[in-house]
Amino acid sequence: MASTPAIVIDQLTVHRGGTLVLDAVTCQVAAGSITGLLGPSGSGKSTLIRSIVGVQKVTSGRIDVLGRPAGSRPLRSLIGYVTQAPSVYADLSVRENLRYFAAVVGAAPSDVDGVIRDVGLGGKAGALVGRLSGGQRTRVSLAAALLGAPRVLVLDEPTVGLDPVLRRDLWQMFNGLADTGTTLLVSSHVMDEADRCSELLLLRDGAVLAADSPAAIRARTGTDDLEAAFLALIDAQEVAAR
């Protein structure tokens, strides 16, 4: 990898509710990349993301973000985090939600209208979040993470339930952010989003199955289709395990 990594994960092991969820995960996320975190449901994507933002109790291992241990104080204003379920106040309007989060991260109140526009909610700024559709709520949650122009954006399935046009617009915005040097880690279990990423991290049963660019993964598995590539990697792993 040419650029210095923004996130370095070394031998990360996490147990949840007594079971092993992440098993000695070692991987990196390049600075300025859009890295897709892919894997089946229950493979540990959200757990890995929670560990990176420092809200997950970890058993052992080390995570550095921008050269600092994950969860350390200075990092909290440098990372934007979108939880998998939209985490915004249903009893506040879109703008009231974002004004509050802007105050917490120390972003200018004038940033609020900008991020509302970025996620395509310009017409809904005054609406109560509780009266928005699921996809609209997801976007309010995403907008909150964009406040303060964080250097690292960690997004847990930010495009679930969105239509193709909106997804394209959001990915355009992600690309724009990456162009200005922001590092994005985006989880998804939709394989067609994988192609929009510059790097992929395939997770299965709490372990890294592959970490490479989409092109390299295609070449390695000899298939054009990333979904087929993912399945081929799983088969190869199972053969090796036998």
Partner 1 sequence: MNVRITMATAGRVLTQLRHDHRTVALLLLVPCLLLALLSWVFDGQPAVFDRIGPLLLAIFPLVVMFIVTSVAMLRERTSGTLERLLAMPLNKLDLLLGYALAFGAVAVVQSSLAGAVSLWLLGLDIAGSAGWLLVTAVLSALLGTALGLLASAFAQTEFQAVQFMPAFVLPQLLLCGLFVPRGAMQSVLSAVSNVLPLSYAVDAMAEVAASTGLTAAAGRDFLVLGAFIVGALVLGAATLRRRTA
Binding site for partner 1 (CB under 8 A): 16-17, 50, 53-58, 71, 73, 76-77, 79, 81, 83, 85-92, 96, 100-101, 103-106, 128, 144
Which region, left, alpha or beta, applies to residue 172 given φ > 0 means left and ψ of -120 to 50 means alpha?
alpha
Considering the complex, state which of residue 93 and residue 159 has its C-beta at the smaller distance from ligand ATP: 159
Interface residue with ligand ATP, options 28, 33, 35, 47 (CB under 6 A): 47
Decide if residue 93 touches Mg ion (CB under 5 A): no
CB-based contacts of 28, cutoff 8 Å, min separation 6: 1, 5, 7, 8, 9, 211
Interface residue with Mg ion, options 46, 51, 83, 221 (CB under 5 A): 46
Sign of CA dihedral 35, 40, 43, 46: positive
Q: Which helix (H) or strand (E) holds 179?
A: helix 164-179
- Do 85 and 158 meet the contact criterion of CB atoms below 8 Å apart? no
* Residue that has been written with the tokens 């295609």 in this structure: 218
Choices 13-21, 24-32, 73-81, 82-90 (CB under 5 A): range interacting with Mg ion:
82-90
Encoding tokens for residue 207? 């372990």
Distance, in Å, from the CA atom of 126 to the CA atom of 72, rounded to the nearest integer, reads 35
Q: Which does 89 bind (CB under 5 to 8 A by kind): ligand ATP, partner 1, Mg ion, none?
A: partner 1
Q: Which does 81 bind (CB under 5 to 8 A by kind): partner 1, Mg ion, ligand ATP, none?
A: partner 1
Choices 14-22, 87-95, 144-152, 208-216 (CB under 6 A): range interacting with ligand ATP:
14-22
Minimum distance of ligand ATP from residue 109's CB (angstroms)? 33
Contact mark string toward ligand ATP, 185..214, x via CB under 6 A = ----x-------------------------
Distance, in Å, from the CA atom of 237 to the CA atom of 235, rounded to the nearest integer, reads 5
Nearest Cα neighbor of 146 from 175, 166, 167, 119 is: 119
Q: Which does 47 bind (CB under 5 to 8 A by kind): ligand ATP, partner 1, Mg ion, none?
A: ligand ATP
Q: Which residues bind ligand ATP (CB under 6 A)?
A: 16-17, 21, 39, 41-47, 84, 189
